[in-house]
């Protein structure tokens, strides 16, 4: 498959998926998500690959959901699902839950290598990786959207605090909350992440897969997957009843759009009252 929005490379036992829309700070549209899934499929079928790293190009992991770039709108329109139909729901569920659960259960260890912004959909993508390495300049923004893993990522009370206030947290705070495994200086991020990946790759592929399955099953025993599926249904119902614009603008004091990221406006704009 020829990729447009990502890069895929293999170096020995380590495969790298790079989100490659730096002009949009790697906003995640449906085409990029389809390409990420295709890359995971390729890595899964490659017996030489033991570990997969997910990273962003241009100094940012991801600015979040692509809410309206021309490329994203064109790709979404070509998929053909009409608003208000069951096909539209199935499409929304695929891109905001099903793919993420599939990557979470990918049979090989996965590592998110985060620098710069990791917002909403970026958080979702990092959250379904097994390990998160973060540069000291990384900034995270959680949201009560779609793939609602946040209570498991940071704990119940902290999840409420972050979602109620909708504020950025630093790499160090994300580490203290347990979402990030290691924080390293930005200049060392690549060396430290790939060094760890290659050490992991030295272990038995069967042992790695078994360990991941057992740990994910322990989390599922706490209701993880069922809760995420229920949460998506509740989110969709609220969006339908209240209207997406009210949920997006009236429902939160921060409006996070690709437009803000693309035009390079100051970070403070993310915190403006709406």
Please tell me the distance from the alpha carbon of residue 151 to that of residue 144, in angstroms, as a whole number. Answer: 10
**Average pLDDT of span 60-72:** 94
- pLDDT band at 263, cuts 50/70/90? very low
Q: pTM of the full predicted structure? A: 0.88
pLDDT given at position 238: 61
Structural domain that includes position 168? 6-188+203-271
Domain-embedded: residue 196: no
pLDDT single digits (tens) 179-209: 999 999 999 999 999 999 999 999 999 999 9
Under a CB-based contact definition with an 8 Å cutoff, are residues 158 and 176 in contact? Answer: no
pLDDT single digits (tens) 160-187: 999 999 899 999 999 999 999 999 999 9
**Is 13 a residue whose pLDDT tops 50?**
yes
pLDDT given at position 84: 77
Under a CB-based contact definition with an 8 Å cutoff, are residues 81 and 87 in contact? Answer: yes
**Is 240 a residue whose pLDDT tops 90?**
no
Under a CB-based contact definition with an 8 Å cutoff, are residues 50 and 10 in contact? Answer: no
How many other CB atoms are there within 10 angstroms of residue 69's CB atom? 17
Domain-embedded: residue 1: no
pLDDT given at position 243: 57
Beta-sheet pairing, 51-56 with 14-19: parallel
Task: State the total domains in the chain.
Answer: 1
- pLDDT band at 230, cuts 50/70/90? confident
Average pLDDT over the chain, rounded to an integer: 88
pLDDT single digits (tens) 68-119: 899 999 999 999 888 878 888 889 899 999 999 999 999 999 999 999 999 9
Q: What is the dihedral of CA 153, 156, 159, 160, to 10 degrees?
A: 170
Under a CB-based contact definition with an 8 Å cutoff, are residues 146 and 235 in contact? Answer: yes
Domain-embedded: residue 174: yes
* CATH number of the domain bearing residue 101: 3.90.226.10
Q: What is the dihedral of CA 82, 31, 196, 116, to 10 degrees?
A: -90
Please tell me the distance from the alpha carbon of residue 180 to that of residue 126, in angstroms, as a whole number. Answer: 9
The residue among 188 and 273 whose pLDDT is bigger is: 188
């Amino acid at each position: 498959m020829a990729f447009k929005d990502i890069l895929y490379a293999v170096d020995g036992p380590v495969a790298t998926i790079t989100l490659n829309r730096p002009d949009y700070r790697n906003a995640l549209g449906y085409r990029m998500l389809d390409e990420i899934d295709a890359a995971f499929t390729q890595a899964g079928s490659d017996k030489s690959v033991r570990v997969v790293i997910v990273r962003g190009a241009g100094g940012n992991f991801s600015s979040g959901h692509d809410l309206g770039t021309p490329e994203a709108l064109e790709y979404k329109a070509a998929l053909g699902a009409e608003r208000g139909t069951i096909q539209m729901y199935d499409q929304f569920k695929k891109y905001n839950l099903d793919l993420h659960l599939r990557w979470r259960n990918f049979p090989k260890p996965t590592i998110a290598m985060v620098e710069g912004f990791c917002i909403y959909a970026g958080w979702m993508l990092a959250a379904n990786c097994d390990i998160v390495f973060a540069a000291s300049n990384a900034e995270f923004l959680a949201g009560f959207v779609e793939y609602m893993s946040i209570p498991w990522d940071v704990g119940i009370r902290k999840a409420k605090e972050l979602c109620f206030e909708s504020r950025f947290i630093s790499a160090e705070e994300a580490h203290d909350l347990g979402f990030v495994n290691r924080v390293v200086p930005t200049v060392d991020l690549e060396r430290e992440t790939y060094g760890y990946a290659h050490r992991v790759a030295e272990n038995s592929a069967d042992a790695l897969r078994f360990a991941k399955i057992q740990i994910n099953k322990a989390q599922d025993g706490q209701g993880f997957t069922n809760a995420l599926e229920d949460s998506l249904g509740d989110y969709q119902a609220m969006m339908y009843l209240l209207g997406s614009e009210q949920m997006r603008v009236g429902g939160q004091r921060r409006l996070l759009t690709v437009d803000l990221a693309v035009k390079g406006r100051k970070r403070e704009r993310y915190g403006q009252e709406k």
